[in-house]
Structure 1
Amino acid sequence: MGLRERVLKKESLKRYLDSDKLLVKQLTAGDLIAMGIGAVIGTGIFILPGTVAAMYSGPAIVFSFILAAVVCSLAAMCYAEFASALPIAGSAYSFGNVVFGEIIGWLLGWALILEYILAVAAVSTGFSAYTASLLKGFNITLPRAVSGPFNPSQGTYINLVAILIVLFIAYILNRGVKSSMTLNKVMVLVKILVIVLFVVVGLFYVKPANWHPFMPFGAKGVVTGAAQVFFAYLGFDVVAASAAEVKNPAKNMPRGIIGTLIICTVLYILVAAVLTGMTAYTKLDVANPVAYAFQLAGQDWFAGLLSVGALAGMFTMMVSMIFSSSRLIYSIGRDGLLPQFLGVVDTTTRVPKHSMLAVTVVVALLGGFVSLDQLTSLVNIGTLLAFTFISLGIIPLRKRQDIPNHDGFKVPFYPILPLISAACCVGMLFQLSLETWIASVLWFLIGLIIYFAYGIRHSKLNQKA
C-alpha cells in the first residue's frame, strides 16, 4: 500500500462502535443542551452585544445575531446528521476519519485540540480575574504573586485560581459523567437566571427612543456585525464529542445540537434588544456595557450579580470543553495516532482518565503560567475548519455503503444546504487576521510532523492493512 492510500484510508463505523463500548450511554437531550449552552454562552453575552452595536450594527444587532445564527445553524444541522448517523466519540476527528480518511481526521483533531485547550486555559484566567474582583468586594485581596502568569518583572509567578478551578472541574468529571452533568445543569440554570433577570429588570429602563435610528450603519453594518458575533456561537460542536455516551443518539443528538443553537440565539437577541433599549448604542463601546447601562440607570447593585453570572458562565464553559477535549484525546489515542494509553477507559467509572489527566495538566500549566492574550484568536480557526469539513462531509457520508441507513436527523435540501454551509464557513475563515493564519499554519506543520513521525507508524487502521 502506497503512502497516499495509507493516509487516506477510511475508518469503519463498526470498529469505532466496538472500541467505544466501555463508554456508558447515559446522557439525555437535556444533558446535551445544558452542555451546549454551557459552552456557547459565556461572559461574552454581557460584552459583545454592546461593543458590536456601538461599532457596527446599532440596535439592528438583533438582526446580526439572527443572521449569524442562520449561518451557524447550517453547520449545526450537518453536525446533527453526523452525530445521529455515527454515534461515536471524537466529534469532527472521528467523523473525518470515517468519511475523508485518516490524515484529514488527524488534522481536524489537531485543530480541535488547539481550540479546546486554548479556550479552556483562557477562560480559566478570566475566571481567576472575576474571582479576584468578587473577593475585593469583601475586602479580600489575593497576593499579587499568585494572581497572574509567570512574569517576575510584574511580580506575578502563578495564576493559582486558574489552576485550582481546572483541577476541581477535572476531579468532578473524573467521578463520572452523570454527577458532573448534574452540577453543570445547576450552573447553567444559574447563568440563565442571571440573564433572564437582566432582561426583566432592564425592560423597566428601556427607552424606545434609543432604538432610533434602528439601522444607523445600514445593511452592511448588519452583515459586518453578523461576522463579529458569529464567533459567539462557536462551541455547540462540543456536544458532538459526547455522541458515544448518549441515549438514543439518533434522536437526542440533533435535539441537543439544534436546541442549543435555538436557546442561545433567543438569549443573545433578548440581551441585545434590552441593552440597546436601555442605553444609546453610541455609548456602549466600553469593556462592560451591561454593567455600564445599569450604572447609568442608577442600579449599581447589578454589577455584583453580573459577576455571579459570569463565574457560572465560565464554569460551565470549562466543564463542557474539558469533557469534550478529554473525549477527543481519548479518540485519537484509541486509534493509535497518539500514545494508546490515552485511549483507555477506566472500567469502574467508565471515564477515559488518562486522557482527562493529560488535558488537565496541559490546561492547568497554560492557565497558570502563560499569558494567552495573543493566542485566543486561534480558537476560531480550528472550529471553522471543522465546520467546513463536516459540512462537505455530508456528501460522502450519504454514499458510504458500510453505514446503515439511519432513521435519525438528515440535513434538508441535500446537497445544497451542506454546500452553502461550507461556503459560509470559508467566508468566515477569510475574516480572520493574517497573524492567526500564520500561527495556525505553524500549528498544523507541527501536527504533520507528529503524524508522519509517530501516528502513521502506530495507527491501528494502517496496522490492519
Structure 2
Amino acid sequence: MVREKFGFWSIVLLGINAIIGSGIFLLPNKAYALSGSYSLLVILFDAFLAISLALCFAELSGLFTRNGGPYIYAKAAFGNFIGFEVGFMKAAISIIAWAAMSNGFATALAAIYPEAGIPFVKNFIIVLLMGSLGLMNIFGVKLSKAVNNLVTVGKLLPLVLFIAAGLFCLQGNNLEFGTAAAAAEEFSFGAAALLIFYAFTGFEAIAEAAEDMENPKKNLPRAIVMVMLVVSVFYFLIQTVSIGVLGAGLSETKTPIATAAAYIFGPVGLALVTAGTLVSIGGINMASSFLTPRVIVAIADDKMLPPVLSRYSRWGTPYVAIIFSTVVGILIALSGSFTTLAAISVVSRFAQYLPSCLAVLVLRRRHPEAPSSLQAPFGPLFPVVSIAVSIWLLLQADIDKIIFGLGGLAVGIPFYFLMKKQYLSKQGGNEQDNDEGVPVESTAGR
C-alpha cells in the first residue's frame, strides 16, 4: 500500500503544533516575574537563538531522508557511540516532553473544571489523553495529518484574535523598561531566558519523521525556517499584549493569556482563550505522540535498540514504538508536575542541540561535495553562535536541573554497550558502521 505523507504546508502546521503549546499559555507570567518588561527582550533573545538553531537543523535536514533527526546527524558526524547517546537522550526527552504536555493539559483543564485538579481525576485524564493519542497514531498517518492540521488552525485562531484586539488595548506605561526591575520579584535575564526558551523548543522534532514527509530534503529545511519565524512573531506579540494589558498584574495570574483576554473581551474572551489553550495543549500532545516514536524507530533500525521497536503495523505505523512511548510517557506523567518535567525537558534538549550544531561544521568540512539543499548563511556564524549561546543558557540552570536533565547521557552508556555486544554476536563479531560519517546520498558507492 502507498503510505500517506505530509506535504509542505502540513509539515509547517505540524512544526507549529509541535512548538506552540502550554509554554506560551502558561509561562509569560513567570518570565515577567523574573524580568518585568525586559521579558520582551528575553523573547527576542530566545527567538534569535531558536532561529540560529533552526538554521543548523534546516541545513542538516537537507542532507538526510531517514527518520531520527538529531540522532542521524550526530551519528553521521561523530560515529555510533555519540549518535546513540544523542538518540537515547532525544527519545527520553521526547517522552518526558510529552509527559509534561499531558500534565499541562490536565492543569489547564482544572482552571475551568476544578475537579480535574483532584489527583485521581487528573491521572485519569492523563491516561485517557495519552492512550487515545497513541491508539490514533497506530491507525495511520492520514488520520494524524488531518487531525493535526485541524487542531493547529484551531489553536492559532484565538491567538490571532487575542493579538489583533489586544494591540488596541495596550497601556504604554506598562511597557516601560525602566520599571521592569521593580516589577520583577528578582530580576534575572538569564533565568527568564532559560525558562521562556522552553516555549521555543520542539522545532527539531519534525525532522525525526523525515520518512513520513514528501520530498524531505527540499521541504523540511524550508518548513523549519518558516515555522520558527512564524512562532517568534507570535510569541513577541503575545507577550507584548499580555504586558500592555495587565502590567504588573501579569506576574500574579496563573493563566496570563486567559486573564488578559477577559480584560479585553470580558467573559466571552476568557472562555474563547481558555478553549484555545486546551486545544493548543491538546494539539502539542498530538504532535508529540506522532513524533516521539519515530526517533525510537530510527535507533532500533540501526540495531542500537531492540529491533522489535521498529515493527510496523498494516497501516504503515511503528506500532510497537508507539505503544512503548505511550506507556512510558504515562508512567512519567503520573510521577511529576508540569513545572518539574518542563525544567528537565528544556535542559535535556541541549544534549541534542550542541552535537547537531557541531555536526554542521563537521559535515561541511568532511563532505563539501554534498551540500545541503538549504545551507545556513554567513559560513560558520550561526553554528558557532548557537553553540556559544546554548552553553551560556545551559549554565543558567540550577545544578540539580542539569544533573537530572543530562543524567540520561550516563544512563545510556550501558545500554549502548549491551546492544552493541548483542548486535556483534549476531554479525559474527564484525562491526559495521551503518552509514557512519556519510550523508545518506553518499553511501551508494561504499
CA gap of 1:74–1:212, structure 2 versus 1, over 3 A, is closer
**1:79 paired to 2:57:** yes
Q: Tell me, yes or no, if the aligned pair for 2:166 and 2:264 is still in contact at 8 Å.
A: no
CA gap of 1:43–1:376, structure 2 versus 1, over 3 A, is closer
**Coordinate RMSD, CA, aligned:** 2.7
**1:147 paired to 2:113:** no
What is the CA-CA distance between 1:370 and the residue it aligns to? Answer: 5.4
What is the CA-CA distance between 1:318 and the residue it aligns to? Answer: 1.4
The count of corresponding residues between Structure 1 and Structure 2 is 426
CA gap of 1:385–1:443, structure 2 versus 1, over 3 A, is closer
Aligned to 1:191: 155
Q: Which amino acid is the alignment partner of residue 209 of structure 1?
A: N
Aligned to 1:12: none
Q: Tell me, yes or no, if the aligned pair for 1:122 and 1:367 is still in contact at 8 Å.
A: yes
Find the partner of 2:105 among 117, 127, 138. 127
- 1:464 is paired with a residue whose SS is coil
Residues 338-361 of structure 1: per-residue CA shift (max 9 Å, x gap): 110112233x32211111111111
Q: How does 1:5-404 map to 2 (within 5 A)?
A: 24=3, 26-58=5-37, 60-135=38-113, 141=115, 144=118, 146-148=120-122, 159-213=123-177, 216-217=180-181, 225-281=192-248, 283-295=250-262, 299-346=266-313, 348-368=314-334, 374-401=340-367
Unpaired runs of at least 5, structure 2: 434-446
- 2:349 is paired with a residue whose SS is helix
**Cα separation, 2, equivalents of 1:425 and 1:266:** 21
- 2:214 is paired with a residue whose SS is coil
**Cα separation, 2, equivalents of 1:309 and 1:204:** 21
**Cα separation, 2, equivalents of 1:271 and 1:425:** 24
**1:410 paired to 2:375:** yes
**Cα separation, 2, equivalents of 1:74 and 1:213:** 26
Q: Tell me, yes or no, if the aligned pair for 2:4 and 2:141 is still in contact at 8 Å.
A: no
Q: Tell me, yes or no, if the aligned pair for 1:239 and 1:256 is still in contact at 8 Å.
A: no
What is the CA-CA distance between 1:448 and the residue it aligns to? Answer: 0.8
What is the CA-CA distance between 1:142 and the residue it aligns to? Answer: 6.3
CA gap of 1:133–1:372, structure 2 versus 1, over 3 A, is closer
Residues 132-157 of structure 1: per-residue CA shift (max 9 Å, x gap): 44445xxxx56956324xxxxxxxxx
- After TM superposition, the structure 1 stretch with the greater mean CA deviation from structure 2, 369-378 or 177-186, is 369-378
**Cα separation, 2, equivalents of 1:237 and 1:23:** 27
What is the CA-CA distance between 1:392 and the residue it aligns to? Answer: 0.6
What is the CA-CA distance between 1:365 and the residue it aligns to? Answer: 2.8
Aligned to 2:413: 448
**Cα separation, 2, equivalents of 1:72 and 1:142:** 34
What TM-score, normalized to structure 2?
A: 0.87
- After TM superposition, the structure 1 stretch with the greater mean CA deviation from structure 2, 112-121 or 365-374, is 365-374
Q: Tell me, yes or no, if the aligned pair for 2:22 and 2:104 is still in contact at 8 Å.
A: no
What TM-score, normalized to structure 1?
A: 0.84
**Cα separation, 2, equivalents of 1:63 and 1:143:** 34
**Cα separation, 2, equivalents of 1:182 and 1:104:** 36
What is the CA-CA distance between 1:105 and the residue it aligns to? Answer: 0.7
- After TM superposition, the structure 1 stretch with the greater mean CA deviation from structure 2, 334-343 or 297-306, is 297-306
Q: Tell me, yes or no, if the aligned pair for 2:300 and 2:310 is still in contact at 8 Å.
A: yes
CA gap of 1:371–1:65, structure 2 versus 1, over 3 A, is closer
Q: Tell me, yes or no, if the aligned pair for 1:35 and 1:239 is still in contact at 8 Å.
A: yes
Q: Which amino acid is the alignment partner of residue 411 of structure 2?
A: I
Q: Tell me, yes or no, if the aligned pair for 1:23 and 1:351 is still in contact at 8 Å.
A: no
Q: Which amino acid is the alignment partner of residue 75 of structure 2?
A: N
What is the CA-CA distance between 1:437 and the residue it aligns to? Answer: 2.1
Q: Percent identity?
A: 25
